[in-house]
A and B are shown apart, each in its own frame.
Chain A
Amino acid sequence: MAKTVVLQRKPLSLSERTYLPQIVTGLKTTFSNMFKEKVTLQYPEEKPNIPKNYRGVPTLVKDPNGREKCVSCQLCEFVCPPKAIRITPGSVPEDEVDREHVEKATQEFEINMLRCIYCGYCQEVCPEEAIFLQDEYSSSGYTREEMINNKEKLYELGGTLPDQHYKWDKKKVAEGEGNAH
């Protein structure tokens, strides 16, 4: 068995008995922090800075010409692990001037935010660069129905993103420049 040794506590010195040096040291830390820059964020009045690669609420985007980019290929619906996405495909009328050459678009597009796990597969799989997980991170509602984002809401959340391809414009140019048959 280990031998128990009782240590004798040293008697406190005079300055220690007054507690003053300790209080001064503590206040020094307090006062030095009062003049430093604040790190606390006053959420929800203040919003945090969202890094560029943040995966927020999935949204649908339009191209700078105001066209819906989604062509309803349903790959996101297929890849979605929690099956949060539900698409009803539809076709674009032939005589619609703004959307020449675009044949297919969504009739309805629903993302159930109670199911979504923010994995970003939908953004990764999208061949038309139409769905993005942007910086919106807070989604809440009072009912389950409110938590299902429909097409209108998704485009409202998504807004317009810059486009590198202008796929449909290129097609129109090709048609105009003699490749038409």
Chain B
Amino acid sequence: MSTNGKASMVTINLDGNEVEVPAGINLVEAAGIHGTEVPHYCYHPKLSVAGNCRMCLVEMGTPMRDRATGEAVLDENGVQKIGWVPKPVIGCGTNVSPGMHVKTKSSMVTDSREGIMEFLLVNHPLDCPICDQAGECRLQEFATDYGRGYSRYVERKNVKPKRTKLGPRVTLDDERCILCSRCIRFCQEVVDDDVLGFVDRGSFSTLTCFPGKELSNNYSLNTVDLCPVGALTSTDFRFKMRVWFLKESPSICAESSAGSNILVSSREGVIHRITPRRNDNVNDSWMTDSGRELYKQVNSKNRLLGASVSGESVHLAEAISAATDLLQGKNVGIVGSCRSSVEEQYLLNKLAKNIKAKKFLRGHFGDDDGILLSADRTPNLRGNLVTGFSSKYPSDQLTQLSQALGKKQIEALIVMGEDLSDSDINLDELKVPVVFLGTQQNATSEFSQVVIPMLTSFEKSGSFINRNFRLQSFKQAIPGPAGLLPDLHVLASLINGLCDDAEQSSDLATIWKQMSKSPTNPLNGIVYSHIPDDGIQLNGAKWDSLSFVEKNALHFSPVKQTLKA
């Protein structure tokens, strides 16, 4: 396909117009590039071609050549004749070739589509009123766009099981399945967990799990997104909300350093589901099931909803001034967070610099699944490196902090969301006052003198830097709880309160102006509002020597391995 890193182009004739398309792509993609929709169910750009739905039938012809001599066959006007294939071909399984002619709007194509739609709808229950897919259903869309508009079918429709549990998170409605096999191919090709298959023949065909297996891998909900109809449904989202009420906001998954691009669907400030957003450089069209559950922390029981000083709830402004009083003139230690956004880490670093505080950082690590759940379970560890909060790779303990506390070098602590009790700090022996800033209650927040509630990544705007050193911005999806201020505002007021001549703005654009000033920083020249939807690749070569924990995964290979190779 490519010879010098750039895709070579071929010219094809699409519905009578000569257009240039990259060589090697199929007709569905080629037509899509030029704004012509070729309807399809089974084809998915990130999966292998199965060609079983037959919805993408188009007419195709190639320039004629004499079989014996290989010379071009010309018509009476001296133009090369087109040898049309007598029957329609599937667009997904046909790759472009130079001079190829394609008709996507001819009467044969229209008839084919009507016929296919009619067959697909023969046993379809048409229960759109109760189907969660309604509103984003390809069958619904194509039935209105390419269908006949009325049914000739008078016989009784099939009745199949309506709520088969395929796994802990996926429920199958057999009646709605159009047997496109996307879910099967996804499990085989992307997750390498071959559990789904079709059994029985004809109208008895059914999607099922192989005996003794279930669809329980951490990517099972992607099959729900892939399903072009409402056959596979998410047990969590099932019958919760119709999709046309949902507002979709682009965001970044905060589960691990993979930084999957996501869409947060909310209605009136309540998040109902999280779905992946396509980014071919990061997560293709997938995300983990565990990442989809993160929205539950927004309304979880242990969410911090109000500020408190010594256990008594106070107004946020009072808590901030209590914190500045507490920290004023002391040797402060700051425990940063790999879960904060880049902007917050920058402000925290600035605060540390201004009050000459010692900085501490810990990471959170788990197993790497080799796809989109990386060993680093924080979304923004690299942000700490880029903003200068840390120059070393953090461990999962706070050994330096416990040593500094032991030597009595620290008189007060600022903790960003971290729970010290599950590190090597013993809270019972901790004698210094603590200012806790975080979203959830934990042992440290209960211990702290001042607790300032923060916002989750769904309730604020900012950016994360993922395992590839890719800077990705996320936008506020829902408003935060009443009475809470943006985290940047809290940090800016701490800076302004603790440093006499500081005038730190809490405005995102202004902070970015300050951050991108230094020519040696990878963030140099970046404007927040101009960060594209698929992110910006930063140059992280400066930190190549650090021993990052991530392993080979989707669109990612560790630096050391690439250097060796």
A124 at interface by CB-CB < 8 Å: no
Question: Do residues A174 and B156 form an inter-chain contact, with CB atoms below 8 A?
Answer: yes
Q: How far apart are the CA atoms of A177 and B242 in the complex, in Å?
A: 33
Question: Do residues B156 and A177 form an inter-chain contact, with CB atoms below 8 A?
Answer: yes
Q: How far apart are the CA atoms of A171 and B157 in the complex, in Å?
A: 9
CB neighbours (8 Å) of A91 from chain B are 238-239
Question: Do residues A89 and B239 form an inter-chain contact, with CB atoms below 8 A?
Answer: yes
Contact indicator per residue, chain A 71-97, by CB within 8 Å of chain B (1) or not (0): 111110110000000000111001000
CB neighbours (8 Å) of B129 from chain A are 71, 73, 75, 127-128
Q: Which of B158-166, B318-326, B412-420, B442-450 contacts A (4 or more CB under 8 A)?
A: B158-166
Expressed in whole angstroms, the minimum distance between the Cβ of B154 and any Cβ of chain A is 13
A99 at interface by CB-CB < 8 Å: no
Q: How far apart are the CA atoms of A14 and B120 in the complex, in Å?
A: 97
CB neighbours (8 Å) of A169 from chain B are none
Question: Do residues A103 and B162 form an inter-chain contact, with CB atoms below 8 A?
Answer: yes
CB neighbours (8 Å) of A173 from chain B are 156
CB neighbours (8 Å) of B158 from chain A are 174, 179-181
| Nearest A-chain residue to B126, judged by Cβ | A127
Q: How far apart are the CA atoms of A171 and B175 in the complex, in Å?
A: 12
A104-B162 contact in complex given A74-B245, A91-B239, C-beta closer than 8 Å: no
A101 at interface by CB-CB < 8 Å: yes
Question: Do residues A78 and B206 form an inter-chain contact, with CB atoms below 8 A?
Answer: no
Find residues 142-181 in chain A having any chain B CB closer than 8 Å to their own CB. Answer: 171, 173-175, 177, 179-181
Find residues 215-240 in chain B having any chain A CB closer than 8 Å to their own CB. Answer: 238-240
CB neighbours (8 Å) of B174 from chain A are 181
CB neighbours (8 Å) of B242 from chain A are 73-74, 78, 89
B244 at interface by CB-CB < 8 Å: yes
Q: Write the residues of chain A forming the contact surface with B, with a CB cutoff of 8 angstroms.
A: 71-75, 77-78, 89-91, 94, 101, 103-104, 127-128, 171, 173-175, 177, 179-181
Q: Write the residues of chain B forming the contact surface with A, with a CB cutoff of 8 angstroms.
A: 128-130, 134, 156-163, 174, 200, 203-204, 206, 238-242, 244-245
In the complex, 6 of the A-B residue pairs with CB atoms within 8 angstroms, ordered by the A residue number, are A73-B128, A74-B241, A74-B242, A104-B130, A174-B158, A180-B160
Closest 9 CB pairs of A and B: A73-B129, A175-B159, A104-B130, A174-B156, A74-B242, A181-B160, A127-B129, A91-B239, A71-B130
6 new A-B contacts at CB < 8 Å, known A127-B129, A179-B159: A71-B130, A78-B244, A103-B162, A171-B159, A173-B156, A174-B156
